[in-house]
Amino acid sequence: MIEKVDVKSLNLKELEEFLLSLGEKKFRAKQIYEWMHIHHVTSFDEMTNLSKNLRETLKEKADLIVLEEELVQISKIDGTRKYLFALADGNMIESVLMKYKHGNSVCVSSQVGCRMGCRFCASTLDGLVRNLTPSEILEQIYRIQESIGERISNVVVMGSGEPMDNYDNIVKFIELLTDEHGLHISQRNLTVSTCGLVPRMKQLADLKLQITLALSLHASSQEKRKELMPVANSYELSEVLDACRYYFDKTGRRITFEYSLVGGVNDTDEDAERLVKLVSGMNCHINLIPVNPIKERDYVQSDHEEILKFKNKLEKNGINVTIRREMGRDIDGACGQLRKKFLER
Ligand SMILES: C[S@@+](CC[C@H](N)C(=O)[O-])C[C@H]1O[C@@H](n2cnc3c(N)ncnc32)[C@H](O)[C@@H]1O
Ligand code: SF4
């Protein structure tokens, strides 16, 4: 069987080449591109300015990737929505919509599952199933925008999966998401979070994009990081921080460090002091995240007082720090949990 072309993962130039290969005029590509990336139609039949013949050819030769909304949970506390989407092959992924005063932000998944094995994370419990295509990552945003009837202005790649482990597809996704002929989200409104795959972080830096890179740090010593994140067995903390400095040098973009506070594990005074030393002199921002306990592990959240103490220590040393608001506390919290619960059922 000849494989169909995933047209939503093609940039305009590639789509033009595809149309030319079908014996069609180049300008058809722009029309199809707009139907997919601006109007977010769900079938070739809705592309009404194309001839019937062309629509039939497209059905035969191309795939129009569309996600199916399987379930939505809406937080009564802050309106956060958690979506479970079905992919064409039956796999499930989750995405989150957070409503802020400054606009709507969507957190997307980059893989089905994850193979990085971080101890506190529900996404990795069953390992990696597969990478998501650029179209499947984009679709999470398009379906959510269509379902709420409001524009999405911010995107964070912080759902299930390690984006730097799906590098080429993520870079293509960024190109399509920020393209002026599509949804045209500003690069500055996009954050990509990584557990610290050093060579890929440097490769991304070399593209000199204006996106924010977030590093999941979670520990201030190599030993403790290794305990929480197996990826630390491959890269020393010093190498990961050097890659962050490299990213800043190439892009001028301030790095965000994510630090999930786990009670009794990485939340002591000593941890905070080491963290201060580690990032001193760097143009960065630290996001403290009270860990969201998952039932498969016995990690617990730090006490509220400990969290404040930790934050104050950083602030006193001139570090930009925020405690991340726990959005959607009343719906299946940690990413990967909703999918896991659904699969178990
Ligand atoms: C799910 S990951 C996805 C992006 C990328 N793989 C990474 O690790 O940065 C996004 C962030 O959520 C954090 N995270 C995962 N499970 C968590 C939990 N149970 N509680 C709090 N934060 C968690 C991760 O450490 C990471 O900083
Ligand atoms: S925290 Fe990120 S890298 Fe680690 S297992 Fe979860 S999704 Fe994967």
Of the candidates 291, 288, 244, 103, the residue with the CA atom closest to the CA atom of residue 185: 103
Q: Convert the pLDDT of each residue in 90-138 to its tens digit.
A: 999 999 999 998 899 999 999 999 999 999 999 999 999 999 999 999 9
CA of 300 to the centre of ligand 1 (A): 15
CATH class entry, domain 5-63: mainly alpha
Q: Rounded CA gap, 257 and 288, in Å?
A: 8
Is the distance from CB of 257 to CB of 296 less than 8 angstroms? no
Beta strand 212-216 with 81-86 is: unpaired
Is the distance from CB of 331 to CB of 75 less than 8 angstroms? yes
The parts of the chain modelled with pLDDT lower than 70 are 1, 329, 332-337, 340-343, 345
Mean pLDDT (the chain, rounded): 95
Mutate to test the pocket of ligand 1, among 121, 123, 341 (most ligand atoms within 8 A of CB): 121
Q: Would you call 94 a catalytic residue per the annotation? A: yes
Task: Tell me the one-letter amino acid at 294.
Answer: I
Q: Is 144 left (phi over 0), alpha (psi -120 to 50) or beta?
A: alpha
CA of 196 to the centre of ligand 1 (A): 12
Contact residues of ligand 1, CB 6 A cut-off: 118, 120-121, 123, 158, 162, 193-195, 216, 258, 260, 289, 291-292, 294, 334-335
So what's the pLDDT on residue 295? 87
Q: Rounded CA gap, 319 and 305, in Å?
A: 19
Beta strand 111-113 with 103-107 is: unpaired
So what's the pLDDT on residue 330? 74
> How would you list the strands of the sheet with 92-100, edge to edge?
68-74, 81-86, 92-100, 103-107, 154-157, 190-194, 212-216, 255-261, 284-290, 320-323
So what's the pLDDT on residue 209? 98
Is the distance from CB of 62 to CB of 15 less than 8 angstroms? no
Which residues fall in the annotated binding site for [4Fe-4S] cluster? 114, 118, 121
Which residues fall in the annotated binding site for S-adenosyl-L-methionine? 161-162, 193, 216-218, 292
3-state helix, strand, coil in the chain (%, to 5): 40, 20, 40
Q: Which DSSP state fits 320?
A: E
CA distances from 131 to 19, 175, 269, 289, 290 (A): 27, 18, 39, 26, 28
Specify the residue with its C-alpha closest to ligand 2, atom 2. Answer: 162
CA of 31 to the centre of ligand 1 (A): 38
Task: Single out the catalytic residue among 24, 94, 136, 139.
Answer: 94
Domain residue extents for the chain: 5-63, 68-344
Q: Rounded CA gap, 78 and 90, in Å?
A: 30
Q: Would you call 305 a catalytic residue per the annotation? A: no
Q: Rounded CA gap, 319 and 64, in Å?
A: 46
Which residue spans within the chain are E strands per DSSP? 5-6, 62-63, 68-74, 81-86, 92-100, 103-107, 111-113, 128-131, 154-157, 190-194, 212-216, 255-261, 284-290, 320-323
How far is residue 86 CA from its own chain's centroid? 17
Q: Rounded CA gap, 225 and 278, in Å?
A: 13
So what's the pLDDT on residue 324? 86
ipTM: 0.99
Q: Other CB atoms closer than 10 Å to residue 289's CB: what's the count?
A: 19
CATH class entry, domain 68-344: alpha beta
